[in-house]
């Protein structure tokens, strides 16, 4: 099992106007780069997104599970699932299997009628809400950037830049992270919107990042 664990860098940030989620693209098996285009950023509904780190098979199952449950919630209640409810649902799924655990580290972020939220969720089902969170092998480098630059009045544009700076920092120092950055924003006005590859590259160029 150790040989198929993956390294990753993911981040979620709460801003005044929305939530920013970001990941890099590399899937690794110890020192071997297994894939360079791994998807680690997922839309669960118009108001909720998730980043994934860990064992790829476990992650894909959990994404399908969460999408199905969130869709059922919306159909039955004719409303979007609150972010906290989605975090609790995922936490319960993981906690029920903690003796045969999913090898994962997750971030759920989005908006509801109480505002914008980011939750980090561990493999045993522990869910903690915070203003920003990072999960994966490169998370230490992301936290170095966020601790230095995040503030209570951070704007959505600043949040996007912070996420890109953080993931880029991890890609430069963490061998298990690399091969590009995915970024999505979640706002009440536009819902879940993923930035194009060109948009991310333009922002990196503007920030003078490599």
pLDDT value of residue 6: 54
At residue 44, the pLDDT reads: 96
Identify the CATH number of the domain in which residue 21 sits.
Answer: 3.60.20.10
Q: What is the 3-state secondary structure (H, E, C) of the chain?
A: CHHHCCCCCEEEEECCCCEEEEEECCEEECCEEEECCCCCEEEEECCEEEEEEECHHHHHHHHHHHHHHHHHHHHHHCCCCCHHHHHHHHHHHHHHCCCCCCCEEEEEEEEECCEEEEEEECCCCCEEEECEEEECCCHHHHHHHHHHHCCCCCCHHHHHHHHHHHHHHHHHHCCCCCCCEEEEEEECCCEEEECCHHHHHHHHHHCCCC
| Structural domain containing residue 58 | 2-206
Catalogue the active-site residues. Answer: 8
Q: Say what the pLDDT of residue 2 is.
A: 41
What pLDDT, on a 0 to 100 scale, did the predictor assign at position 173?
80
Number of domains in the chain: 1
Predicted confidence at residue 3, as pLDDT, reads 40
Full pLDDT tens readout for the chain, 210 residues: 344 445 789 999 999 999 999 998 777 766 677 678 888 999 999 999 999 998 888 999 999 999 999 999 999 999 999 999 999 999 999 998 877 788 899 999 999 999 999 999 999 899 999 999 999 888 999 999 999 999 989 999 999 999 999 999 888 887 767 778 999 999 999 999 999 999 999 998 898 887
């Amino acid at each position: 099992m150790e040989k198929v664990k993956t390294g990753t860098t993911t981040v979620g940030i709460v801003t005044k106007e929305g939530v920013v989620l970001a990941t890099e693209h590399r899937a690794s098996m110890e020192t071997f780069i297994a894939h360079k285009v791994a998807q680690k950023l997922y839309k669960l509904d118009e108001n909720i997104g998730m980043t994934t780190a860990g064992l790829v098979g476990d992650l894909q199952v959990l994404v399908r599970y969460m999408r199905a449950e969130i869709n059922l919630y919306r159909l039955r209640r004719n409303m979007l699932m609150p972010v906290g409810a989605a975090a609790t649902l995922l936490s319960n799924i993981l906690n029920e299997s903690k003796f045969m655990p999913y090898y994962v580290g997750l971030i759920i972020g989005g908006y509801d009628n109480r505002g914008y939220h980011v939750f980090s969720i561990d493999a045993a089902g522990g869910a903690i809400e915070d203003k920003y969170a990072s999960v994966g092998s490169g998370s230490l480098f992301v936290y170095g950037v966020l601790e230095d630059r995040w503030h209570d009045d951070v704007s959505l544009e600043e949040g996007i830049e912070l996420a890109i700076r953080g993931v880029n920092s991890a890609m430069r120092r963490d061998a298990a992270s690399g091969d590009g950055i995915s970024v999505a924003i979640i706002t009440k006005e536009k819902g879940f919107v993923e930035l194009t590859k060109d948009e991310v590259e333009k922002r990196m160029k503007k920030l003078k990042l490599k």
